[in-house]
Structures are given as structure tokens and as C-alpha cells.
Structure 1
């Protein structure tokens, strides 16, 4: 019993221990400069963010970044999480950084020496006089990068400060920083202000750049260089220091060919459509993708332009960029025209954009759920030609009856009394005949009206009789088949990228379309509908990884193979049924 207890304690001890190390990029800086504080923790379980509340009294937190590196050991997985905090001191002198607590463990205190104009050093008069300080330069260039470590294609913030003692003339030239195989953008306009450097007043011009390296090889940024003259004729030639970036390769490859490392990414859509959708109706779908920390030219296309039941046309694409002190905000807007072809349900497939969260250091997916458009039958299905023909025939019949009643009254005038008498006798003998003809005309008119109304009420049924009866069922079957295919494609993408959160959602969505007759709202419903032991075990494995803190170990290839087997089996059954019919 004791041996088992000792073994249990030895296994749990590493899980409860997290070593915290802290160090600074420099231990002596000027008051106007920044310093990078690195907090490094090695752990085997999920940890919380460090407590940085103690830094607010002595420093201004300019920015922060988080990087996690995972290693697989025989005893299990082990990760090293590194936080890099960019600090600017509020005062000069020696500043002690108190121990920082992470997951119950604390680091050692650090001491930073800040040199500023307010620092005065008293020396004993008996000691030898110090050497005279070096005179402040007439101009100098300072360069820095907020974070020197990041992923390939991610955003690096590069800052160049040009300090000069006299105002500048118009005769000046600034060569921007350069990095091979990288995109460099100027972030905003230069900012000018007056500062104190080494106890002397200076004019400072601040330049901001955004750098996106495309290679994980050694990256050395060639510094900017300023040449020009001041208003008093002094020639300035200042050059900054070369900075090396630690660019990490892509942690995962996307089968769609794009790589999106960003601080944040948002996907949304909107519709402009008529109140009633009929075959031939047109609506406009607007898709918007907004990325924080990426140039607009690297955002992928959003709208799939293939659909069996609708015609999709890309009207226009709008790319825009907004530069802020926090970085670049890019927006891609696509307007798609959708023209539905048939009545029934038209399914627009889901849209998934895979990206990498550079702050949380893990892959994510921005998704739009499938959209179902319900297309009603056309309001002009009733045959107008039949109705028009019946109306014309009815009017002809009424006209004929009227002419019959008036025809006997057009007899010639009599020439004598006998003739008038004979005519009156003839008229009296013809009255019954005229009455019969009028009655027949009225009855025939009523009959035509009754027949017209009956045909008008039966017009939709007659139209359906002339049209093939299997058309609505065939349309519904094709719509369900397309919806299942789109849901399967989304599930396959999630399994191939080992995204356990998204795979569970896509699995339920696919199962609802694969077994539409079953009420499936969770994984248990999938097991009851499938009745497949292999799929049951894979669903249990999926849910176990879904509720774990570390979800990166799940592999979706086996689940995808099981789904493909079910789809092939269904296809063979349908083919066999058609052959028997």
C-alpha cells in the first residue's frame, strides 16, 4: 500500500509544480527607453496568466505577448509558456521588480537601474575627480522592436527614434528599415516632440513600422538611416542598430494554402433579399472578414461560388486597411449575388476561416453556419392563357345571344293596314320563339360562367398534372443531398485540422442531414442512429478530448474514415435499390 501511495505522489508531484523564471532584456536603461520583461514557466497542465498588478506603480505596460512551446516526453507532454511584457519606467533610480506569482509559484525579484536627468550622484571630495562625461551627440538614431520573437507572417512593431538638437531644414532624407523576404509598411505619420536625453533638450521624430517576415530563416533588420541638415546648417548623418528577429516556422499547415497569424479575426455576413423568394429571385449576400495584425492583401477569398440549386456571382471585392498605434486592421468585403433556380430549400454551405491566435498561441476557426433559403412556388403558376381563352369564348356567347334577341326586331316597315295586321300577327306568333331563344342564351351564358369558374379553380391542379410529379421530390432529394455534402466537407476540414471543438459541432450538423428522419441533437443521438460500434468508440474519444484542457492531442483521421465508410455504405444501398426498381 505504501509503495502505491509513493508512486501516486511521485506522479502527481510534477503536475503541481511549475517553475517560474524571470529576466530582463537590459538591466540599465534611460528613463525614456523601454525594457522587455520575460516570464518563463515550465508546466504540464493549463496555467493562468501571471499577476502583473505590482508593476503598475513603477512602470507603464506598453504591450504583452504570449508564446507556448510544447514538448512530448515519455512521461507525458510538457509545455513552456513565455510571456514578454514591454515596460517603460515611470521614474529614475533603482527599481525593484517584486516576485511575480504564476500558478502558486513565485519568481525571484529583479533590480533595474534607470538613468535620468533627475539622478544625481554625490561623490566624496577626497576621491579623485571623475573623467568628464562625453558630450551629447548632435543627432542619433534609436531603434527597437516591441517583440523580437513571433511566427512567420505575423506582425512585428518596429520603432525608430531620430533625436537632433536643432530644428531640421527641408533638405533631409530617411531610408526606411529593410528586411529581405518581408513586407514592411509605415504605420502612420511621424510624430514630433521635445524630450530630454542625457540632460540635454532634443527634438525627437518618432517613426513606426510594421514588419511581416515571410521566412523563418535568420532575420536581421537593416536599420533606418537619416541624412539631412538643420536650420543652422549642421549636417546630420544618423544610423540605428541592427536588430535580429527570432521568427518561428508555422506550427501547422492549412490545406487551403493560406496562413493567417493575427491578434483577432472576425467573420460576419448580411443579406439584402425580397420578402418572398421565388424561382428566379435575386438576393445580395455581403461577407465581411476583419483581421487585426494582418495586411489586407493576405486575407483569403470568402464566398464559395458553386451551388447546384442557385447561381452565385461575385459582384465586387473591397479591401481596406486602417493603421493604429496597436497595429494594422484589415477588412475584406465581398458582395455575392445569389439567383435561385428552383423552388424548395437552397442550402448555402458553411464558411470556415482557419487562423492562428498569436496571443493565445493556438489555432482557431472563424465560422458562419449553413444558410437555408426557402424558395416558394412561383405566383404565376396558374395558366393565364386558359383563363383568357375562357373569357373570350364567354363574351362571344353573350354577344351571340344578344344579336339573336335583336335580329327579329329588324323587320321592314309595313306599307298597308293589312300588311301591318299580318305583321302584328307574325310578331305575336314569333314571341314564344324569341323568348325561347333568349332563355337558351341566358342558360348557355350561365353554363359558360360556371365552366370558367370550375376551370379557374382547377388551374393549379391542371398545371401540376402537366408537369412531372417527381419534380418536387427530386428537388427536395437533391437539396438534402447537397446539404449533406456541404456538411460533410466542413466536418472533413475540421478533422483534417484536428480541431476537436469544431469537429464535434460539424459532426452533429452532418448527422442531422445524413439521418433527417432521426431527432439528433447530441452525440448520443448519433450513436443511436448509426448503430455502429466503431463510431461509438470514436465519439467517446472525441468527447473525452473535448472536455480536456489540452485539446491538441486529438487526431481526427480515424473519425473521418468511419464517416466515409458510412457514406459509401449508404451509396451502395441506394444504387442497389435503384437497380431493383
Structure 2
């Protein structure tokens, strides 16, 4: 009985032994065929909504073993994050490699995450349902909270030729890798950006936003109703899914609202240049300053600077009027190029004119009048600045400024015939008196000559100073100073220049060329070397003149 029992046990154990042997034999094959798996954090998403894709395999493998470029046709994806782990449980060792990345579907419909081949293993396909943004409340709310675009204008009723300010604001609450904003548009509108973008930070509903503000000037070119197509914001946002580290770049598009405006035509009864604006300011200044515009005394050749400033609200720079003034022939005019700028909604033009009287007498400088249409009162208005009456006189120092000092000639020696005096008599006393008188006369002559030389030295010093100032102004290219110093220098050098009429004419022509070039509307440069060379010639002529008489000339022989 015991033998039979033992044989039965042996017979029962044999199949189990066989199965165990087979299982042990197959273990290496299972280890080679590692299991790969792909999962997603959600399979119903909105367009551009970021979700998480995880790919894993239960073995240690090269991190570059997965090719994620197969996602490109239907998905945008970020840089994958790779992790590896090793565990030992009850003596059994296991390894695992996991890839995690952010993914977003590009188009509405059904999208498929393809199978990833990892070594000899492969993941299964995953089907994703992609909805419109409006169908996914969470996605829409997220987009609105992250980026917002608003636009506003000053007024929606204006005249042809009038301008309004279009202000667009962008609230950005997420990281953007790149962004752009297009200008508004509309049929019959001229659009130009005004100034630079302004940036500041705000906190809204507990969240911090970067606010970018940009201004555009819209000028109406035709009457009627016009729709302003709002500015369009395009950018790429760097987003992650559920707070994991890897991020993805997804497009962000937001448009400002459209705005309708009404453009009025030019009134038929209006005459003159059409200039619609709510405010026009016309001002002027004179240099040197004047207190009485009806009686200003000046000299021939002395420059007067007239600065005219025109400020017009809601008018484009291209619509600013040209300022044309007709001056009498008795003055020479140099116009600087107008300067333009934008200031608090005003277009500002500054025009500077240099006026130089050419001859003596009464000179009337013209006023300036500008007609414009007041868009607030809807009436025609006129702005005016007065002219100036000049009493031009000759320079009183022109004739005696550089008069030559008197030449002092020593008295001629008196020759007397020699006589033999046998008796002194009264002659010794007479001789003594004449000798004293001669000595007194000599002392007075020496003193007067010293004063003359001092006066000559002072005059020469003054000449040197004005010459230095003139040369400094020429080197600095300051035409007003050059003109002023040149007139003074010309008067001081009159005695030298009258002997060189050709040189004098060259100097006058060169100064006029300098002024004409500086105030020309064309961009041109003036070469100051010619004028400096002419001044050097005058210096050389002055240096070759006969030196003034010295004190030694009066020494008795």
C-alpha cells in the first residue's frame, strides 16, 4: 500500500514539474519582450488645450529611443521629460523608463496619437476628441483670462480730414515666446502709430498682468459710416499641463472689437484751406525780445530770430498747413526746416526764421493768419499773430571803430650859427630857461606817446577777442553767432578791408553762403574751411602793416 501511494505522488508531481520547468525556461523570453504603454491625462480636449502624454516601458533604455516627431501632423508638443527608476522587491529587480510631455491638438475633430515603437515593443493607438474652444468652457475661460485685447477711441463723430486717437490695450497673464499686434484698418482711414508702446503691471482679480498700450492716429479721408476693424493680437504661449515641468508652445489669437464711426463732410459754405480741429494755437517769439511790436530799433546786419509755433489738436502731421510769409526786399530771410512732434494729442510744428536787415529805414515784417474749422462749435475761426515794425539804423561805430592813432612827430632840431662869447652876461640864464622848457616839453611828449601806445594795445586786444569769438562760432557751425560777430569784426577791420575790395567781397559772399546752406530746406553741408582761410588772409595783411612808433624814436639824438 505504501508503495502504491509513493508511485501516485510521483505521478502527480511530474506534470507540475514539467510546467515549472517550462515556466523557468520562458522567463528570459518575457524579460526580452518588455512591455511599453502610452497614456493621456484626458481624451476630450479643446483646440490648443494642453494635456499630458505619458509613455513608459518596464526596462532601462536609451532616453532617445522614442521618436515623438510622429505627433507633428495633428499635435503640438513640448520637450519631453525623461525619468528612470530601479526597484528591488523580494529579491526581484525591476526597471522602468518614463517619458512625459505636453501635447495640444491643432484642429477640431478626431485626432490619433500614433503608436510609439520602443525597441521590440510598441504602444497602442490613442484616439482624442477635439472640440471648438467655445464648446470647452474651461479652455475658453483660460484663454480669456490669459490674454485680453481692448480698444477705445476719443469720439465716433468727426469731419473729413480730422483725426482721432485709437488706443489698444493688451493684458498678458502668461508667458509668451513671441507676440505681434496688427494696426486697425478701415475703408477711407489713414492709420499711423503714435509714439512708443507703454508698459505697466496691474493686479486683476488677484492675478498679475502685464499691460501694453499702443496708440494709433486714424485720419478720415472720406465722408460716411466707416467700420474700424480692430487690432489683431497673435502670439505663442508657453503652457504646461497640470503643472508638470515640460511645456509646450501654443498659438494665441485675440482681436479687439470693431467700432463704427460717422464721418461728416466739409461744409459747403467754408472758404479757404480746410483745417478741422477742436483746438488751434498759434504763437510766436522774437529774439532779441521786444516789448513794442510797432517800434523796434535795430542796426543793419544785426540778425533777428522769429520762432513761430503752431499747435493743432486731432490733425495728422501730413495735414499741417504750410506757413508762407512774404518779406520786403530790404531784409534777408533764412528759413530753418520746420520741426514736427506729437504732444498730448496735438501735432506741433515749429518754424524758425532768421531776419537780417540790409539797409536803413522803416521795415514792416508781415503778420500771419490761419483760418480753421472749429469742430466743437462747428464754426469757422481765425487765428493771427502780429508782425513787427523795425527802425533800421546804420551802426554808429562803423566809421570810427577802427580809426588809426595820430602819429606824433618829434620837433625838428633848430640850427644856430656859432658865436664866440667873451662875456657871459645874461645868456647863461637864458640858456638855462630854454633847457628847462625843452626838458618839460620832452617829458610831456613821452607821456602822450605812452597813452597812444596803450590805446593802440587795447584796440588790438579787442580785435583779437572778436576774431577769436568769430572763429569759434565758425568752427561750431553756429550761423547766428557767426553773422553777429562777423558784422562787428568787419567794422573793426574796415581800414584793412577797404584796401582789399575783392577779399571783402569774398568774405561777404561766404557768410551769405553759410546762412543760405544752413537754412536751406535741402540737406546740404557747408564747408567752413573757406571762411577760416579768408580770415587768415586778413590776419596776414594786418601783421604786415608798419609797426607803431616806439618810445625809442623820441630819444634825443
Find the structure with the greater CA-based Rg: 2
Q: Which has the higher contact order (CA 8 A, sep 6+)?
A: 2
TM-score (norm: length of structure 1): 0.40
TM-score (norm: length of structure 2): 0.41
